[in-house]
Structure 1
């Protein structure tokens, strides 16, 4: 007989891979306590919204998803957590429909707040001072995707003048190597083929591993241990600071059968003057050196870049420094962010604000450059036979996958290929920017 008393919970995640890992872990807590997970647009007893503070419209996005929850079930309890919830708990609690706001320390204790929670027209706030968020909770996403996001590090000790993440997530701290390896093995046991390592500043891995500020281990120690984990076909490193990406780590990736030739390295500006104003810990010469080193040992590597336009003091001349620096670098794509003022950051008080219309124009210029870079990179890969991991989505009869070096490919949907790695030859760039593939010739497969 069906259990009519079973409670349901729905989840929505805004922002980064780290948020996805944490939402998935919180979802497992609720399902372990007897909740049934349902889609966010279905009627649920509890809706959990994990927010981001990096997006320019964090407040608007949060309100949109609260309204979605209320439309699906006006009596459902709405819980908002994550970075924006830590930074602006009062604002969120005032949103109509919000019942509970949890800060950085409290979000992993969600079950203890749900038992007595009732809908009464105002949002309860449970939010710590950020210096209390000095502990580590291991997390990973599983079940929703072909790949798993594995959290290895949290928080940041850098003081970049535009960034609120240290205010939202606290000091840099790390999971133990033993626990990361344990989680990786659990992921492998589920049949997931790819792990993406995530954190706020993963190159700083090892700091705070055992509750102190010193590095017990290094990022190189971590990836060396993970490289030996059986059952995972691919491990991908997410965003890593250029000053923390050491030669030894690049060389390990070059020799590894698991770590893939794909790096995402924040630049933020191609002007040394602006990098200093941002309090970044490198200049363009070091950045260029990292790109050169990668391509020396991994000539087919995909290299993604984060860049900010419209930072205070970014004159036309300084923007063009960035544009030309990126244009000349042998990189593969850009993630372009338009600077927006954030409370309690140094940059918000700086002179030389760039007009919003100019920020948007510069963003568009770099997005066009990104598309050119991506197509040029894809063109270098045509004719090569590479392993492709297929994803589950069926979009208008097509399925999509990624090569190890992050070329997005497509083929007619075939259910038997989902979550499988297949060697395929990259054939042609399609009008939508993806690459069509054909089966590898028999002689190649025999060699593999």
Structure 2
């Protein structure tokens, strides 16, 4: 009987791409992959360390696995496992914790699946995480997450990612293109480029700071890969999003008009405290450049509320900055203290109830921004890629510029691209449409 393995992923697109690659390694060694809610012999949890909530959720996920099979072997991998391996090993039910370099060899640690009284830890010093492992996801969604870069050389004062993933390093252009071709052969219509700091693409292994290729060269090369309908750039730092990339995307065969650009604060005073590598003036310039080139482009933003030193006035500076910019939606993160970061020792700690209030205000602004962006798109003709899930009798999909649409469930639409006219916004905020010419392809 093949052993059964189940996976749970916390956090970002990068984690999803790595989970998928690790799962394929299990399959190639004869394991049978099952859903996390099903009974398995091994449960693998890929952890995240960006927020406090991801830490807390880990324990409940372990309990969930133990409820299904109390005798199952539970392994923790990922960023939290690298940062606080012993903390995870001490969680009741955890048998194995693997750090940043060990996680890709997880099957070699599974010779004995007997439950341990204490979690066994194999974790490297993060400076040893100087090699690159390529990965991509498929099978879970109608789009694939393609990892092109890992690690980060930036020293933002609130962030643990460099401690969890090591220095910035990239896949070779040859490998990225090969992975993209493999994805295209699996009838996946969209690829999302992912990494920790993808605009820094090109740095080699072992701390080599020389860029073999630039992000712009990567984008141009991927655009030529046959069989990919859509390519989407995930989060990219504003200082690394160059005019040449924006202009190329506007004329591209495959790249879609959607950019997600972290801001973190609309106050230059706080950006300096965060040690970000730009000021608000550059951010305005990047947004204006995109909108001049592609007026219909979707622009998403990451913003942190409650950073130490964020007074009421500085928060309002951020709120007004975001309100006045032509943005499409916000991802709002409530600041949480992380061990071994500079920000954890800064003065001007914002009370948690104030952080929550500010977060609520920005989430309200995000809803307003998204609604306004959707309204601008009504009457336009767009292409929708439909998802594979039946949600209460409806099928959902996204246009190239990230407008979420809905229609009555039709399984024939799954993983197809359809040309539609956007007609109205429904009560739930999603967009209705008419087919221009319904072709199930």
Shorter-chain TM band: over 0.9
5 Å matches for 1:344-355? Answer: 344-355=340-351
- The answer on 1:138 being equivalent to 2:134 is yes
* Residue 433 (str. 1) matches residue 429 (str. 2): yes
Range moving further from structure 2, 206-215 or 342-351: 206-215
Counterparts of 1:410 and 1:25, CA distance in 2:
31
Shift in Å, 1:209: 5.4
**Which of 273, 284, 301 pairs up with 1:277?**
273
| Residue aligning to 2:177 | 181
Partner Cα distance (1:35, 1:264) in 2:
37
2:133 and 2:207 map into 1 onto residues whose CA distance is 12
Q: Distance in 1 between matches of 2:152 and 2:245?
A: 20
Alignment-derived partner of residue 188 in structure 2: 192
Between 346-355 and 58-67, report the one with greater CA deviation.
Answer: 58-67
Contact 1:15 1:55 in 2 (8 A): no
Aligned to 1:216: 212
Query: Following TM superposition, where does structure 1 have runs of at least 4 consecutive aligned residues deviating by more than 4 angstroms?
Result: none
**Pair 1:119 & 2:115 matched:** yes
Q: Deviations over 1:321-377 (max 9, x none)?
A: 100000000000000000111110000000001111111110000000000000000
Aligned mate of 1:358, from 350, 354, 361: 354
1:200-349 matches, within 5 Å, as 200-208=196-204, 212-349=208-345
Please point out which of 365, 372, 377 is paired with 1:376.
372
Matched, 1:406 2:402: yes
Whole-Å separation in 2 of the counterparts to 1:312 and 1:233: 44
Contact 2:7–2:43 (8 Å) recurs in 1: yes
Range 16-25 or range 210-219, more displaced: 210-219
Displacement after TM superposition at 1:212 (Å): 1.9
After TM superposition, give the deviation of residue 210 of structure 1 in Å.
7.9
How far, CA to CA, are the matches of 2:137 and 2:269 in structure 1?
39
Q: Name the CA distance, whole Å, in 1 between partners of 2:216 and 2:205.
A: 14
Is the Cα contact below 8 Å between 1:154 and 1:169 reproduced in 2? yes
In structure 1, list runs of 5 or more residues that go unmatched: none
- Which residue in 2 is equivalent to 1:162? 158
Q: 1:213: Cα distance to partner?
A: 2.1
CA contact (8 A) 1:176 1:209 kept: no
Q: TM-score, normalised by structure 2?
A: 0.98
Per-residue deviation, residues 80-112 of structure 1 (Å, max 9, x unmatched): 000000001001001111000000010000011
SS of match in other structure, 2:88: helix
**TM-score using structure 1 length:** 0.97
Q: Offset at 1:120?
A: 2.4
1-side partners of 2:376 and 2:134: how far apart? 39
The whole-number CA distance in structure 1 between the counterparts of 2:332 and 2:365 is 10
How many residue pairs were aligned? Answer: 439
Contact 1:79-1:99 within 8 A present in 2 as well: yes
**Does the 8 Å contact 1:209/1:215 carry over to 2?**
no
> Cα RMSD between the aligned structures?
1.1
